[in-house]
Amino acid sequence: MITIHSTYNFPPFLKGIVRDIRPVWLLEELGMPYQVKWNDVQKAEHKSPEHVRHNPFGKVPAMSDGDFSLFESAAIVNYIADKAGKLIPKAGTRERAVHDQWCFAAVNTVEQPVFDVFVCDTFAKDTPGVAERRANSLANAKARMAVLDKELSDRAYIAGSAFSAADVMMVTVLAYARAPEILADAPHVRAYLERCTSRPAYQKALALQGKGPG
């Protein structure tokens, strides 16, 4: 069975932010059996030799499937969808290339500025130069949203007309856009987020996040 290595005991404002929601959401969409290995962040269990066996960076998520381990949320999400043979185009097709393009766009092109605004508003809010840093990241985040808004103006999902694993990646990246300015001029992105986060599988994954073993 697939095990998702997650964390608990983190501050409540990180609910919906911690990246372990990505594989858990997908597993819920697929109705695949899985279990969660909870790591207590207060005890730095995600830095323990046991966890580092699955993710050498000491981060979450990690996944294990029998004796096979994987880290990086996008790689885990694609592995799980491939294993199910659902919510992802067949490997080697153009459709799959486009799907993967949007996964990389999520974690590479969109995540950085959107996440940095979140960091400026939270962890880094009292650091020197934060106002300038935030203004720069906000401008970049809004520029990315303008592109996404155009893309999403004529289709319901990021890689086409059907929900796919690429939406799990894009939506969970867009969840970092807690500063209202980021999405203010992106009505199609807002509608897309609403469409995807209202899915029962997302709501289940969100409810499970950070729950811990208790």
Interface with ligand GSH (CB under 6 A): 18-19, 46, 58-61, 72-73, 107
Among residues 52 and 156, whose Cβ is nearest to ligand GSH? 52
DSSP summary character for residue 105: I
53: Cβ contacts below 8 Å, ≥ 6 apart: 69
| Residue 171 CB neighbours (<10 A) | 24
> With respect to ligand GSH, which residue has the nearer C-beta, 107 or 148?
107
**Nearest residue to ligand GSH on Cβ basis:** 59
| Sole residue written with tokens 């029998």 | 66
3 state SS of 6: strand
Tell me how far, at minimum, the Cβ of 185 lies from ligand GSH, in Å. 27
Query: Judged by CB, which is closer to ligand GSH: 7, or 164?
Result: 7
CB of 61 to ligand GSH, least distance (A): 6
Is the CB of residue 38 less than 8 Å from the CB of residue 213? Answer: yes
CA separation for the pair 211, 64 (Å, rounded): 20
Least distance from ligand GSH to the Cβ atom of residue 74, Å: 6
In angstroms, give the least distance from the CB of 140 to ligand GSH.
Answer: 18
For ligand GSH, the closer of residues 92 and 213 by Cβ is 213
Asked if residue 33 lies in contact with residue 1, where contact means CB atoms within 8 angstroms, the answer is yes
